[in-house]
A and B are shown apart, each in its own frame.
Chain A
Amino acid sequence: MELIPVLSTIILIATISTFLLAIGAYILYKVRESKGQKSSAPVPSTINAELFTPAVSLAQSPRQGQEFTPQPIYVEPRPAPSFQQKRSVQAKENRFLKYTSEGYIDPSVDEQFTGILKWK
């Protein structure tokens, strides 16, 4: 007897059995579920919950056993801003800077501001 017809028949029977098994299991599940159905009660807008939390803080809690080194909490070092960055930050803070022979200065800081450029 050839192999393919035999395998085909096996797969055909297996597929039909799977269909029947799945549908049967589903019906059984629904029947069992329907027995445990309960009516739902109205839901309040707020509910009270009980909180159980340890009273002592971590610092007060003496560690039993070996010493441990706690890992740092996000202390990623940031590089110091360069001159260009400082200038761009300054420019963002005040878009209207005044150019003098000493470089850019804030007009509000310049008490002698008269609108005339200063020259040395």
Chain B
Amino acid sequence: MILDNREPIVKNENKGRKYIKRMIVSGLLSLILIAVIIYTLPLTVLSVDSLIEYAIIDALVIFLFILLVRYFGILIFAYLNINKYTFKSVNGYFPFVSIIVPVYNEEKVVADSVKSLLDLNYSNYEIIIVNDGSTDKTKEVAEQLVGYQKGRYADIKISLIDKPNGGKAKALNAGISYSKADIVLCMDGDSQLSPDSVRLAVRHFANPEIGAVAGNVKVMNRGKFFTDLQALEYIEGLNMARSAQSFVNLVNIIPGPIGLFRKTAIETAGYYSSDTFAEDADLTLKILASGWKIYYEPNSISYTEAPDKLQQLMKQRYRWTRGILQSIRKHKKLLLNPTINFGDTFILWSMVYEALIWPTMNIVANLFFIIAAFVYGFTSLLFFWWAGLALLDLVTALYSVAVEKEELRLVWYAIVYRMFFILVIDICKAMSTIEEFLGIRMSWGKLERVGLLKT
């Protein structure tokens, strides 16, 4: 089997010159702004100290306003989407589905992942395992699984493509190219699908406008402080936002652990690309730009193993942030020109907000309160700020947990969620953003799996 291994052609541009140009332009604009402030300040009643004070207060009010608009916007849209949601199935619509399982050094979990796929409440599917040049015994374990395995309703064909290492995007592309199905399900090698995941997601493809369906990702390895916080984040932060986006059929990221695609949508979008580290975000944007709609199916659940150590979490978020920034830069034409595809422009600006604006605002706000506490002795300001945000997070967490019928104990993590977890994530995002703009080389950063997933 011969696979296409070419990368998209990237224009050979002089990066150094581009950065210098950018620095000169931004420097000149800053100088003009400072000159305007110095010239106009004596004409006002403000002193320099009061100007700084007012500017900070204004920034905080704007920050709080945006935060509230974002929160309530997401909550309202997610609520409307849940009200619209129905379990109604499409009679007689059971298209053939290829489940692509890319694996790289997953010897501990690949067998359990495939076993979970054999228990699906669906009969018309096959499993294609793509071994992306693993250096452990993944190939041997996967070879044992090849054949017709007993599924819940039918014998399921399991194939294995063993290819040299080339990254997740190329592994998925190899599986998609080999598949003859109209619908492909792309997942991670370390994820497990719930039995109804395929049946509930596939029915949306009866609508010819739907190009892809995003599933619901949940944290499997709970019980530890970090993994519980991530479980809450997935429910409150990621799935809630996805549900809100689904109301307008504009889901911005089809998650790696579970995403179903119409094969023609992938073909028109141009398959997964390896030029970003968030290949799922990139493909989603390409599918949206091709005019397809994307739906979110909250009951198509994929359980994934979340990093349980701070360093592993940093590694994951570093890759996510840089990958999303790379995707935004790749599609900057759509970002700046809403006449091409307004939906894409909207989605890209929301990604800019989440990846760039929000973390900066959060870090600056916290730094301001620390400075205010030490310099002016306003320690209580930080407390009231925290209390307000914690209350907001508690209400949202309660709502999200109720909607997803999740564990109630996760709600209490909302107290430390914003002040600790989100701050750590935002600092990591800010650092990653700086590195991305400086063009520092990065590697994929494979997460260590302990093989906790059991069927």
Contact = CB atoms under 8 A, between A and B. Distances in A.
Contact of B445 (A4, A33, A50): A33
A23 B427 CA distance: 7
24 contacts: A8-B383, A19-B427, A22-B427, A25-B428, A26-B314, A26-B428, A29-B311, A32-B311, A36-B443, A46-B2, A47-B166, A48-B164, A49-B1, A49-B162, A50-B161, A50-B163, A51-B160, A51-B178, A53-B146, A54-B147, A68-B153, A70-B153, A72-B92, A74-B92
A61 B373 contact: no
Contacts, number: 165
Contact of B124 (A18, A19, A50, A71): A71
Interface stretch (A9-17, A86-94, A105-113): A9-17
Contacts of B383: 4, 7-8, 11
Given A8-B382, A46-B3, A52 B154 contact: no
A54 B443 contact: no
Interface residues of B, number: 61
Given A45-B5, A47-B166, A18 B92 contact: no
A44 interface: yes
Interface stretch (B50-58, B187-195, B256-264, B417-425): B417-425
A33 B310 CA distance: 14
B428 A11 contact: no
A52 B310 contact: no
A16 B431 CA distance: 17
Contact of B314 (A29, A52, A56): A29
Given A18-B424, A54-B157, A73-B96, 19 more contacts: A4-B380, A12-B373, A12-B379, A19-B423, A25-B314, A25-B428, A36-B443, A43-B5, A48-B164, A50-B1, A51-B159, A58-B148, A61-B155, A63-B150, A63-B155, A72-B94, A73-B94, A73-B124, A76-B92
Interface string A51-84: 1111010100101110011111111110000000
Contacts of B163: 47, 49-50
A8 B94 contact: no
Interface of B: 1-7, 90-96, 122-124, 142-143, 146-148, 150, 153-155, 157-164, 166, 174, 178, 310-311, 314-315, 318, 366, 369-370, 373, 379-380, 382-383, 386, 419-420, 423-424, 427-428, 431, 441, 443, 445
Nearest to B310: A25
Contacts of B4: 45-46
Contacts of B445: 33
B423 to A, nearest CB: 5
A29 B315 contact: yes
A114 interface: no
Contacts of B91: 76
Nearest 7 pairs of A and B residues by beta carbon: A49-B163, A22-B427, A8-B383, A52-B160, A8-B379, A53-B159, A50-B162
Chain A interface residue bracket vs B: 35 or more
Contacts of B431: 23, 26
Contact of A47 (B5, B95, B428): B5
Given A70-B124, A71-B124, A73-B124, A51 B96 contact: no
Contacts of A76: 90-93
A54 to B, nearest CB: 5
Contact of B423 (A18, A46, A48, A56): A18
A14 to B, nearest CB: 6
A103 interface: no
A14 B124 contact: no
Contacts of B373: 8, 12
A84 B386 CA distance: 67
Nearest to B366: A15
A54 B428 CA distance: 46
A52 B443 CA distance: 30
A74 B93 contact: yes
